[in-house]
Chain A
Amino acid sequence: MSLDGKLALVTGSGRGIGRAIALKLASQGADVVVNYFRHRESAEQTARDILVLGVKAEVIRANVGDPAKVDEIFDTIGAKFGRLDILINNAASGVGRPIADIDVKAWEWTMDINARALLLCAQRAAKLMAGKGGKIVSMSSLGSRFALPNYTVVGVSKAALEALTRYLAIELAPLNICVNAVAASAVETEALKFYFKEGLVKDSQQATPAGRMVVPEDVASVVAFLCSEEAYMIRGQTIVVDGGTSVGLFALAGKGG
């Protein structure tokens, strides 16, 4: 698979899954726009690592939960490159709280970043992809379909993202834009350690038939495939990358991620 000459925007690519996706796409020849919000040093490191691969890297800071900032990202890409081939809607946030503690602020913050951002980014990306097509891949999670502890608001936001993926796949098909999502179980990243206690890591290892936790590179490989022409006929789907967790009995006991 080659992405030579393609331009990809990966939101939230300073760390974790986004960084792995950015590096994977770059390793296949794509120039990458690295978007970050809170971790500048990490984003700059991702960009340096991309440059080493012999492609271009551009760093743009923006909170994708803020519509004006989303516009800034795409205004910059439009002015600098005049096109976009791949949008990876990866940036995510959220609060791990029981339902009783979810206030309007936490709900809106999470939904704006995790779900609405796909709508706003896809609207702008489609214009930059017009005429030659493109790929849009979003990051979901198993919390969209399974009730995980203290994961309600994030899980609901991911369910919205998956539904939006289906609608976008249909509406953008005439523009030759393929839209899909990838849902991972708990992935070993800094964010996971931040939002959850160490116990989740151990639980996830035990609940994964494949015998280990999903790592960012597992997810990045599937995302790269969805960005390739080989995946042309996959539309509006959410591909699960979980080492078998969700088809095993342990998932039904509320473990996994």
Chain B
Amino acid sequence: MTVEEQVREIVARITRVDKGIITRQSTFKEIKADSLDIVQALVAVEETFGIEIPDEEAQKFQNFGDFVSYVENQVARKGKA
């Protein structure tokens, strides 16, 4: 499973929406994620990939695609380390 697919599954599980409706353009508002959902999704993704996503970075995410791109970069960086 790709990073994007794993992140999508996590977000879908936490927000209880069908993962089929989550595209890279979906905003957190569109998938009805409230502040608690977002924090829990961040924590679950951090634990899954062994990375850290500070709120300072998370606040910059405009949509699901931004979230996935950040995670992909962190995972790639971790792989090189």
Chain A residues with a Cβ under 8 A of chain B:
38-41, 61, 63, 93, 95, 105-106, 109, 194
Chain A residues near B54 (CB-CB < 8 A): 38-41
Q: Which of B1-9, B35-43, B65-73 contacts A (4 or more CB under 8 A)?
A: B35-43
Chain B residues near A95 (CB-CB < 8 A): 34-36
With A and B bound together, what is the CA distance between A109 and B40 in angstroms?
A: 9
How close is B47's CB to chain A, nearest CB, in angstroms? Answer: 9
A63 touches B43 (CB 8 A): yes
With A and B bound together, what is the CA distance between A38 and B53 in angstroms?
A: 8
How close is A48's CB to chain B, nearest CB, in angstroms? Answer: 16
A61 touches B52 (CB 8 A): yes
Chain B residues near A40 (CB-CB < 8 A): 52, 54, 56
Choose one: A41, A63, A105; the contact of B56 (CB below 8 Å).
Answer: A41
State the majority secondary structure of interface residues on B.
Answer: helix
How close is A16's CB to chain B, nearest CB, in angstroms? Answer: 13
Q: Which residue of B lies closest to A66 (CB)?
A: B43
Q: Which of B19-56 contact A (CB under 8 A)?
A: 34-36, 39-40, 42-43, 52, 54-56
Q: Which residue of A lies closest to B14 (CB)?
A: A105
Of A38, A41, A93, A105, most buried by chain B (CB within 10 Å of CB) is: A38
Interface residues on B, range: 10 to 19
With A and B bound together, what is the CA distance between A109 and B41 in angstroms?
A: 13
With A and B bound together, what is the CA distance between A109 and B43 in angstroms?
A: 12
B36 touches A109 (CB 8 A): yes
Chain B residues near A105 (CB-CB < 8 A): 36, 40
How close is A107's CB to chain B, nearest CB, in angstroms? Answer: 11
Chain B residues near A106 (CB-CB < 8 A): 36
With A and B bound together, what is the CA distance between A109 and B36 in angstroms?
A: 9
Chain A residues near B42 (CB-CB < 8 A): 38
How close is B66's CB to chain A, nearest CB, in angstroms? Answer: 17
How close is A78's CB to chain B, nearest CB, in angstroms? Answer: 23
Q: Which residue of B lies closest to A93 (CB)?
A: B39
How close is B11's CB to chain A, nearest CB, in angstroms? Answer: 14
Q: Which residue of B lies closest to A106 (CB)?
A: B36
Q: Which residue of A lies closest to B54 (CB)?
A: A40
